């Protein structure tokens, strides 16, 4: 029997990424408050928020400084916009700070409200730029199988996950997907990681040549793939694809929505993974998710094209009501100040070995085929047979059951198919990291017992 609050939820809300039919029976987990790395449900039960919300609440819950700066800005100027040349201090200062810390040369920053909007904007700006440069046929954008870049019509097309396309009539035209750089799942027998990376670079080049280099505009990639299952490309992957992109003048977009702002032990994930992109999408930890904000970090070549189009058309016909919202910009600016002042990235760097050691140890669990991760993000892939890497039937919902057991243990993890991920707030302590992995270990044990009881390993 669902509680009154749960019933009201079921009858009023549409929940993203939820089996809406099954949800009518199970109802929601209603969270009421948060403090540090923990959140508390409507019954008062505490959970370690092992996913930092959705890869985003980097400073944890209840940060008084962020609350106060939002209050101050709301009292001073709760809203204005950037349309028609209007501006305000928080957006200007935030753009200046982002240019200062960018891992590659950046000319300007365009603000939006989410990673989806940022990547949707990337598509539009690449097309816009190539029209300005007199290359109207150079419009195809290559993403990757299992990539995640958002859920707008364009960004969901970039996303390389089947359930984001099925019955939404996606992907749209001019969006292509090359191979997923997951060695565990897609390497050929006996193929080393370096050989695998070389093959993927060759396959990318063949795709560009088959499509026609004069039609291929851009390549987009997450440094570490997030919602596709926390997939870490081989060490030489980006090094090998970079010359392919350069050879055919293919614009390189980095989706730093998850990896940006400390997640991999540096301010941005691109340099950690050996990426040298031309433009960058940002969101999530930019404001520690306290308020919605995203952005595109625009290089000079793209900005000059935008100027040319403005001269031709008379305006830059793109933007959102809340682009550079003064309250969200103020909160984001304070978030970046806290990162720098408290050396949060340095503290994360010291804890990464603890996180990765505990993660790696889970590879020995009888249910785990691969334990993988980078920096402060990781996942375990659950398999029916460790020796052959045979997966469970997706309909069995083994990953979802493991996440449910974790929640019962007091840990919020995320199941993406049969990959169960962790991405805790960056403010987590070593003791809390240990506690988090203890909880996940118990959840895996309970899942293993359930799998055995239900005889789910039968081929």
How confident is the model over 293-346, as pLDDT tens digits? 999 999 999 999 999 999 999 999 999 999 999 999 999 999 999 999 999 999
292 and 374 fall within a common domain:
no
- Are residues 151 and 127 part of one domain? yes
Q: Concatenated DSSP letters for 23-56?
A: HHHH----EEEEEBTEEEETT--EEEETTHHHHT
355 and 322 in one domain?
no
209 lies in the same domain as 83: yes
95 lies in the same domain as 222:
yes
In sequence order, which residues have a C-beta less than 8 Å from that of residue 227 and are 6 or more positions away? 148, 161, 416
For the cut 90, the answer to whether the pLDDT of residue 365 exceeds it is: yes
- Is residue 42 pLDDT above 70, yes or no? yes
* 317 and 221 belong to one structural domain: yes
Q: What is the DSSP letter of 82?
A: -
Are β-strands 368-374 and 377-382 bridged in parallel, bridged antiparallel, or unpaired? antiparallel
Residues 327 and 354 placed together within one structural domain of the fold: no
**Is the per-residue pLDDT at 459 higher than 80?**
no
Q: Has residue 288 been placed in a domain?
A: yes
Sheet holding 140-144, edge to edge: 108-112, 294-298, 279-282, 251-255, 216-221, 140-144, 175-178
The pLDDT-based confidence of 358 (bands split at 50, 70, 90) is very high
Q: Does pLDDT of 2 surpass 80? A: no
Mean pLDDT throughout 342-355?
98
Residue 247 Cα to chain centre, angstroms: 28
Gap between the Cα atoms of 196 and 171, Å rounded:
27
Q: Are residues 157 and 147 in the same domain?
A: yes
Residue 104 in domain: yes
Residues 397 and 367 grouped into a single domain:
yes
Q: Is residue 359 part of a domain?
A: yes
Q: Given 298, 324, 341, which residue is the final one in a domain?
A: 341
Last residue of a domain, one of 341, 360, 391: 341
One domain for residues 292 and 352: no
The answer to whether the predicted template modeling score (pTM) of the entire model surpasses 0.75 is yes
% of the chain residues with pLDDT over 70: 100
Q: What is the mean pLDDT of the chain?
A: 97
Domain boundary among 341, 362, 380: 341
Give yes or no for residue 160 having a pLDDT over 70.
Answer: yes
1 has pLDDT over 70: no
**CATH number of the domain where residue 38 is located:** 3.90.1150.10
State phi, psi for 87 to the nearest 5 degrees: -155, 180
Q: How confident is the model at residue 3 (pLDDT cuts 50, 70, 90)?
A: confident
**Residue 4's pLDDT band (cuts 50, 70, 90):** confident
- Residue 178 lies inside a defined structural domain of this protein: yes
In this prediction, residues 151-162 reach a mean pLDDT of 98
Please tell me whether residues 26 and 148 are part of one structural domain.
Answer: no
Listed in sequence order, the residues at least 6 apart from 379 whose beta carbon sits closer than 8 Å to its beta carbon are: 229, 230, 371, 372, 373, 416, 419, 420, 421, 422
Domain count, the chain: 2
Cβ within 8 Å of residue 449, ≥6 positions away: none
Domain of 103, CATH number, reads 3.40.640.10
Q: Say yes or no: 171 and 232 in one domain.
A: yes
The pLDDT tens digits for 369-419 are 999 999 999 999 999 999 999 999 999 999 999 999 999 999 999 999 999
Token pair recorded at residue 282: 């940002």
Mean pLDDT confidence for 342-359: 98
Residues with Cβ < 8 Å from 371, sequence gap 6 or more? 359, 360, 361, 362, 363, 378, 379, 380, 381
Domain that holds residue 368: 4-62+343-454
Length of the chain, please? 459
Query: What digits encode the pLDDT tens for the residues 111-151?
Result: 999 999 999 999 999 999 999 999 999 999 999 999 999 99
Query: Among candidates 331, 229, 343, which has minimal Cα distance to 289?
Result: 331
Query: Per the domain annotation, does 459 fall within a domain?
Result: no
pLDDT tens digits, residue range 203-224? 999 999 999 999 999 999 999 9
């Amino acid at each position: 029997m669902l509680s009154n609050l749960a019933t009201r939820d079921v009858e009023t809300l549409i929940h993203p990424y939820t089996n809406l039919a099954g949800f009518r029976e199970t109802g929601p987990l209603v969270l009421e408050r948060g403090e540090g790395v923990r959140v508390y449900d409507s019954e008062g039960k505490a959970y370690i928020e092992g996913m930092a919300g959705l890869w985003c609440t980097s400073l944890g819950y209840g940060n008084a400084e962020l609350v106060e700066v939002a209050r101050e800005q709301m009292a001073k100027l709760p809203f204005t916009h950037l349309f028609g040349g209007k501006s305000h201090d928080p957006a200007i200062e935030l753009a200046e700070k982002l240019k200062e810390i960018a891992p590659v040369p950046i000319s300007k920053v365009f603000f939006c409200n989410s990673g989806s909007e940022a990547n949707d904007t990337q598509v539009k700006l690449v097309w816009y730029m190539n029209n300005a440069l007199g290359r109207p046929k150079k419009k195809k954008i290559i993403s990757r199988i299992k990539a995640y870049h958002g859920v707008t019509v364009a960004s969901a097309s970039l996303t390389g996950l089947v359930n984001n396309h099925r019955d939404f009539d996606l992907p749209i035209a001019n969006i292509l997907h090359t191979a997923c750089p997951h060695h565990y799942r897609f390497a050929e027998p006996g193929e080393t990681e370096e050989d695998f990376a070389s093959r993927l670079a060759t396959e990318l080049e063949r795709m560009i040549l088959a499509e026609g280099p004069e039609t291929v505009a851009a390549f987009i990639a997450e440094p570490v793939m997030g919602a596709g299952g926390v997939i870490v490309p081989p060490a030489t992957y980006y090094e090998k694809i970079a010359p392919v992109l350069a050879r055919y003048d293919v614009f390189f977009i980095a989706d730093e929505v998850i990896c940006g702002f400390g997640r991999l032990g540096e301010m941005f994930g691109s340099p950690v993974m050996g990426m040298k992109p031309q433009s960058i999408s940002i969101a999530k930890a930019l404001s520690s998710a306290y308020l919605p904000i995203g952005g595109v970090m625009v290089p000079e070549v793209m900005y000059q094209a935008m100027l040319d189009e403005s001269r031709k058309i008379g305006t830059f016909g793109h933007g959102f009501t809340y682009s550079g919202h003064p309250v969200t910009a103020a909160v984001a600016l304070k978030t970046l100040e806290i990162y720098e002042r408290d050396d949060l990235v340095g503290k994360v760097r010291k804890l990464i070995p603890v996180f990765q050691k505990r993660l790696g140890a889970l590879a020995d669990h009888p249910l785990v085929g691969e334990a993988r991760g980078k920096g402060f993000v990781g996942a375990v892939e659950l398999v029916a047979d460790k020796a052959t890497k045979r997966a469970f039937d997706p309909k069995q919902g083994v990953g979802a059951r493991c996440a449910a057991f974790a929640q019962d243990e007091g840990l919020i993890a995320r199941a993406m198919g049969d990959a169960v991920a962790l991405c805790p707030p960056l403010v987590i302590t070593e003791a809390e990291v240990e506690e988090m992995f203890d909880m996940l270990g118990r959840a895996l044990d309970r899942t293993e017992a359930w799998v055995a009881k239900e005889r789910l390993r039968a081929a």
